[in-house]
Amino acid sequence: MKIAIASDHGGLNLREEIKQLMDEMNIQYEDFGCECETSVDYPDYALPVAEKVASGEFDRGILICGTGIGMSISANKVKGIRCALVHDTFSAKATREHNNSNMLAMGERVIGPGLAREIARVWLTTEFEGGRHENRVSKITAFENKVQG
């Protein structure tokens, strides 16, 4: 599994924590910034990374900003992206099992590094359940195809 990860300046520290976690888990990843010497605009990082996941260049993506909200809103504009904004481990597991989320967003200003690491660990290791959930996710894909071609 290959992960694309990015953050804005508000998520810089947590991005480093999650990269460290992926090193420990032997998960391959590529870091798409930001360098964050000044404040940056989260769509400039969320959108290209979401496109890399949607195209299949990366299997999944992780985005971090201050709240996780701007990153998740932006990523979900890209066709084929199901980005889940998650701040608890129950949702981390459920969104993989039920929604087959292919991107995870978190907010560094919302949760501490310990919880964020656990959320990422659960999200990275949980499989989609398929079955009745496949049908529901397919309805989202069908809508995207109808609206965006």
Q: Which are the catalytic amino acids?
A: 65, 98
What single letter denotes the amino acid at residue 22?
M
Locus of tokens 């971090």: 64
Exposed, middle or buried, 62 (CB in 10 Å: 0-12/13-18/19+)? buried
Kindly state whether residue 101 participates in binding ligand RB5, applying the rule CB under 6 A.
no
Going across the sheet that includes 83-85, the strands are 28-31, 2-7, 60-65, 103-107, 83-85
Question: Mask: binding to ligand RB5, 18-47, rule CB under 6 A, as x and -?
Answer: ------------------------x-----
Segment contacting ligand RB5 (CB under 6 A): 29-37, 63-71, 80-88, 113-121?
Answer: 63-71
**Contacts with ligand RB5: how many residues (CB under 6 A)?**
8
Annotated binding site for D-ribulose 5-phosphate: 8-9, 66-70, 99, 109, 132, 136
